[in-house]
A and B are shown apart, each in its own frame.
Chain A
Amino acid sequence: QKEVEQDPGPLSVPEGAIVSLNCTYSNSAFQYFMWYRQYSRKGPELLMYTYSSGNKEDGRFTAQVDKSSKYISLFIRDSQPSDSATYLCAIGVLTGFQKLVFGTGTRLLVSP
């Protein structure tokens, strides 16, 4: 079993839709959570970073963490064609050297 599981997609939605992206993890030592957006042939771009259960909002993006279920989500409101990219969840431990464990990424396609 992988430490972090993420559906690879692709996930296709029309412009304006609410998008839900999810990851599950197995190690309860994981304490902080990030979401990255990656366009083709580019480096990952940090979107959201949180280390507590609950919701964190930034513009059209909301990150949700449920530590009891080992489940994290990223919601994108009013999705745009420019949101079409691969979304990676990344999870790490707060102490030590903060190695990140990534999911495989979910490819999102937003059609106009």
Chain B
Amino acid sequence: DTGVSQDPRHKITKRGQNVTFRCDPISEHNRLYWYRQTLGQGPEFLTYFQNEAQLEKSRLLSDRFSAERPKGSFSTLEIQRTEQGDSAMYLCASSLAGTGNSGAFFGQGTRLTVV
């Protein structure tokens, strides 16, 4: 399967702990996005990378959140000092800039539960 891969699929953590999620995009895609989805809502944009550069961050991304894409390939999203309000599905998507752009493709998501 050469689609977008996310790990882990599920994460349960205690409030106050740090968590890190990984995303492996489609190999030739140079754009990578993180979204968050809560129950009954559509995904909300968190942040965006073009290659290794983080070019945009949403106001939803508090300073407890940090994302990296060190070599322009995989990306990590870390949440420090988790809160119950962080419980959500975290989705990663990738796309190809330029004439080959045919839409953004999502992974299966990481479901985070903060207890």
Binding site for B on A (CB under 8 A): 4, 6, 8, 34, 36, 41-46, 49, 88, 90, 97-105
Check if A104 sits within 8 Å of B31, measured CB to CB: no
> Which of the residues A36, A42, A44, A99 comes within 8 Å of B45, measured between beta carbons?
A99
B25: CB under 8 A from chain A? Answer: no
Interface size on B, residues (CB 8 A): 27
Instruction: Classify the secondary structure of B's interface with A.
Output: strand
Chain B residues contacting A42 (CB-CB under 8 Å) are 108-109
Check if A97 sits within 8 Å of B55, measured CB to CB: yes
Check if B31 sits within 8 Å of A98, measured CB to CB: yes
User: Nearest 9 A-B pairs (CB), nearest first?
Assistant: A102-B42, A49-B103, A43-B106, A43-B108, A43-B109, A44-B106, A99-B45, A97-B48, A46-B103
Give A109 Cβ to nearest chain B Cβ, in Å.
Answer: 15
Check if A46 sits within 8 Å of B111, measured CB to CB: no
